[in-house]
Amino acid sequence: MAPEPAHPQGAMLPVGPADVTRLADPEDAKLLVLARAHRARVGAAEAAAVRDSDGRTYSAVDVALPSLRLSALELAVALAASSGVSGLEAALVVGDGGIEPTDVTVVREFAGAGVPIYRADTAGGVAHSVTT
């Protein structure tokens, strides 16, 4: 069996329908596993995972309290920021819908330009991505 060809970091490969892909980078795929597991564990509508500039990962789910509302990605970025890290390498959100502009803004404000943000559906197919 021939080895799979190498793919650039952050590349997405088509699988199944044309608009669903899988992550080629194993570190990005780990974000998907973490976010899906966190979402399933607490039964949240949305979960996110980020990888910081030191390679550590953080996952979070959305928070909807009467006095506090945070998207999963906002909370994951807050966790990374509160640990003292200064940047992110990648982010991924699992749930229905698209990538929210406010989430892109939060990642850009914290980590700067060039950070990929992937959006996966609840089955794990990555259907959309943007770069800050």
Residue 21, pLDDT score: 61
Residues of the chain with pLDDT under 50: 1-20
Residue by residue, DSSP assigns 23-85 as ESSHHHHHHHHHHHHHHHHHT-S-EEEEEETTS-EEEEE-EEETTEEE-HHHHHHHHHHHTT-
Please state the domain extents for the chain: 33-131
* CA distances for 117 relative to 56, 60, 71, 98, angstroms: 16, 15, 14, 11
Give the separation between CA 12 and CA 29, rounded to whole angstroms.
10
What pLDDT sits at residue 37? 94
Give the CA-trace dihedral at 82, 124, 41, 91, to 10 degrees. 0
The CATH fold assigned to 33-131 is Cytidine Deaminase; domain 2 (3.40.140)
pLDDT for res 52: 95
